Chain A
Amino acid sequence: MNINSNLKKQNTYDAIVVGSGISGGWAAKELTEKGLKVLMLERGMNIEHIKDYDSAMKAPWEIEHAGRLTQEQKRTHPVQSRDYPYNEATEKWWVNDLECPYTEDKRFDWYRGFHVGGKSLMWGRQSYRFSEHNFEDNAKDGHGNDWPIRYKDIAPWYDYVEKFAGISGQVENWPLLPDGKFLPPMEMNCVEKSVKERLEKHYNNTRLMTIGRTANLTVPHNGRGSCQYRNLCSRGCPFGAYFSTQSATLPAAMATKRLTVRPYSIVNHIIYDKDTKKAKGVMVIDAETNETMEFYAKIVFVNGSTLGSTFILLNSTSDAHPNGLGNASGQLGHNLMDHHFRCGAEGTAEGFEDKYTYGRRANGIYIPRYQNVGSDKRDYLRGFGYQGGASRGAWHKEVAELAFGENFKETLSLPANSWSMGLGGFGEMLPYYENRVYIDHSKKDKWGQPVLAIDCEYKENEAKMREDMMYDAAEMLEAAGIKNVRTYDNDCYPGMAIHEMGTARMGNDPKDSVLNKWNQMHEVSNVFVTDGSCMPSIACQNPSLTFMALTARACDYAVKELKKGTI
């Protein structure tokens, strides 16, 4: 008994943060800086900044299979290998699917990274604010539940996280894409500048093209180095030039000396205390030894990624919460959303043959949503934005013609004859109650846990929108003087954008939402969920910046309430 109580004391913290990715890193930073003793639990291995970025400084010829996957990698990573993010140079960041299977009632590509830093190491870094429109859309058209907050509630927190993270971008005064506290923007290239000018003129400034807003530093910031334009971000940045847990939030949290990080710690469930009606801690499985243990805290932040967090909550059952923790509403696991993309248009730009690029910019251009705003009416709800860019590659028609020999080699040594320009749409998906995840007890993972089943599909609204995502792109490119414009739709399945969200949504009404406006569980006041699962709708912008702002805001509230003694 003595041993147990000592152990209990040893394993007790002020706060537990489950997960170490973008939102978990922020929670650890904010909570420790506000004076709390924090335990951050990460289910995967530790990754030390710079030292563990194995492929970051490798030249192309040091990547054995030129980046291609082996048959063995395809065997162990059947889901991760469905799309480009998992490749030879980045293989370390993606899970072995055989160890952590899930059930696909319908195809859902679940890309996961189990390691300290989570997907903050592999994210696309595009950082956009949601606008007032985005917070009102659910209430206006009746899909999903009303957001419990509006733009003004989150705006100061966007300011706060942008200043720390370092977001480069151009101020545009565009209502659907509010400006932030930006570092200097990256440059558009000559073709992009020309397209921007012609496009905005053609549409009478009802459409805008701006440089991508990205969490890559254009100037040194908070002791981190600026972008070196290598375009190798996905391997981990040895200059700390993009925002990640390792480059930014973890060092800040560690500096307080109040953070403990425990890798290889799979949170199986949250322990609910029926007497206090609060969570008293978490049960953990050590991923290396399979040993189980408990950790205790006054508050628990759940930041295990949308579906990871949802699994933990669904798996945290008790007499008081038979269908998962805080799930009296029945909404937990439902309303799963992801952006739909992989369609648009591209073509060639003529007249720039005497121009080339220097450096590799890991960023493109952005066209914010303009559909279903003002006089622009469509036959579907919500809308989409575009990411794209122009480049002068090195592809030549002689490759397809199967040429060979001296002249062929000399040709391939030169840049392409012309520049190409493309626009790819990113569309909002509506929240549908029937798009859901649930626990499948018929399968077990490597650690004996049941698995998640995913039942999610795009519907008619998304299909209609995709048509416009192609044709609007083609029309804009043609209006901007681009030649040989062709449209494409490479097919998209939920999960592919790696922007899965919505399965533990916020709302004012406990009857139809899991979290309140502070990301706090309606039913369990000391549990906060601030990753993508909290989102009542997903807009069409890349969401990570919003997770950061919501997390910082929730931490501020949680610590204030803790000090007041209300939680």
Chain B
Amino acid sequence: MDRRKALKNVAFLLGTAISSSTIGVLFENFGTYEGEKNQISFSAKEEEILAEFADIIIPTTKSSLGAKAAGVGDFIPMMVRDCYPANLQLLFASGMKEMLSKCQKDFNKDFLSLSGEERHKLMTDLTAEAIAGGKKPSFFMIARDLTLLGYFSSEIGCTQAREYLPIPGKYDGNVDYKPGQKAWAT
């Protein structure tokens, strides 16, 4: 029985570490239907801001195009409107406004005019804030989750950042992994 108790404690410790943030966690926990929808809409400029925001997380690199090129700027607002309950839509919209005013306050510029360095600083701040706040649902956490989800399910993410095999035709569970070899997209 002691042995079993010990295992249970390990489960508790690891369980909290693992479940605290993976792609999709926000959906599972807050995704029940609440009877209202589409509390918010997004302007073209806001979509551009979201695309640039996503591109800070997943930028274009030598090997592949980034989140903006992959269409994440359209994906995020579409997902927020279609898949999130009203309370989270409103939370998302107000959090986004807060981020924009933070840009004015910290850099005296609007978001789209920030330099690369300033964007990095902004994202570092937002990350620290989210971690300090226990990664609770927020504009930042939702936009970040949707960036990862949208990018790695996009054509660019699947075929450039990762490798997509539509019809493998066989299974081999013991192939050599070559250092640097990309992950399978699905």
Q: Assess whether A202 is interfacial by the CB under 8 Å rule.
A: no
Given known contacts A355-B177, A402-B21, A402-B127, A66 and B172 CB-to-CB distance under 8 angstroms? no
Cross-chain contact of A229 among B57, B130, B168 (Cβ < 8 A): B168
* Cβ–Cβ contact A229 & B64, under 8 A: no
Given known contacts A413-B64, A413-B182, A190 and B167 CB-to-CB distance under 8 angstroms? no
How many inter-chain residue pairs (CB < 8 Å) link A and B? 196
Q: Please give, as numbers and ranges, the residues of chain B lying within 8 Å of A416 by CB-CB distance.
A: 183
* Cβ–Cβ contact B56 & A404, under 8 A: yes
Q: Assess whether A484 is interfacial by the CB under 8 Å rule.
A: yes
Q: Please give, as numbers and ranges, the residues of chain A lying within 8 Å of B185 by CB-CB distance.
A: 60
CB-CB nearest in chain A for B135: A402
CB-CB nearest in chain B for A78: B33
Size of interface on A: residues with Cβ below 8 Å to B: 64
Interface residues of B in 153-186 (CB under 8 A from A): 153-155, 158, 161-162, 164-177, 180-186
CB-CB nearest in chain B for A397: B17
* Cβ–Cβ contact A487 & B8, under 8 A: yes
- Least CB distance, B13 to chain A, in whole angstroms: 8
* Cβ–Cβ contact B175 & A74, under 8 A: no
- Least CB distance, A261 to chain B, in whole angstroms: 31
Interface residues of B in 2-35 (CB under 8 A from A): 3-4, 7-8, 10-11, 14-15, 17-18, 20-24, 27, 31-35
- Least CB distance, A419 to chain B, in whole angstroms: 10
A394-413 contact mask (Cβ, 8 Å, vs B): 1 or 0:
11000110101110111011
* Cβ–Cβ contact A358 & B21, under 8 A: no
* Cβ–Cβ contact A394 & B162, under 8 A: yes
Cross-chain contact of B176 among A71, A74, A75, A355 (Cβ < 8 A): A355
Q: Assess whether A488 is interfacial by the CB under 8 Å rule.
A: yes
Give the distance in Å from the alpha carbon of A358 to the alpha carbon of B186 in the complex: 11
Size of interface on B: residues with Cβ below 8 Å to A: 75
A252-279 contact mask (Cβ, 8 Å, vs B): 1 or 0:
0000000000000000000000000000
Give the distance in Å from the alpha carbon of A399 to the alpha carbon of B8 in the complex: 25
Q: Please give, as numbers and ranges, the residues of chain B lying within 8 Å of A231 by CB-CB distance.
A: 186
Q: Please give, as numbers and ranges, the residues of chain B lying within 8 Å of A67 by CB-CB distance.
A: 153
Give the distance in Å from the alpha carbon of A220 to the alpha carbon of B35 in the complex: 49
| Interface of A toward B, CB cutoff 8 Å | 59-61, 63-72, 74-75, 78, 81, 186-193, 228-231, 345, 353-361, 394-395, 399-400, 402, 404-406, 408-410, 412-416, 467, 471, 474-475, 484-488
Q: What are 8 A-B pairs with beta-carbon distances under 8 A?
A: A60-B153, A60-B154, A188-B173, A193-B174, A229-B169, A354-B176, A405-B120, A415-B182
**Inter-chain pairs besides A59-B155, A74-B33, A415-B183, 16 sampled, C-beta below 8 Å:** A64-B78, A66-B75, A66-B79, A68-B24, A70-B83, A190-B174, A358-B171, A358-B172, A395-B22, A400-B17, A404-B57, A408-B57, A412-B161, A413-B64, A415-B184, A486-B14
| Interface of B toward A, CB cutoff 8 Å | 3-4, 7-8, 10-11, 14-15, 17-18, 20-24, 27, 31-35, 37, 56-59, 61, 63-64, 66, 75, 78-79, 82-85, 120, 123, 127, 130-131, 135, 144, 148-150, 152-155, 158, 161-162, 164-177, 180-186
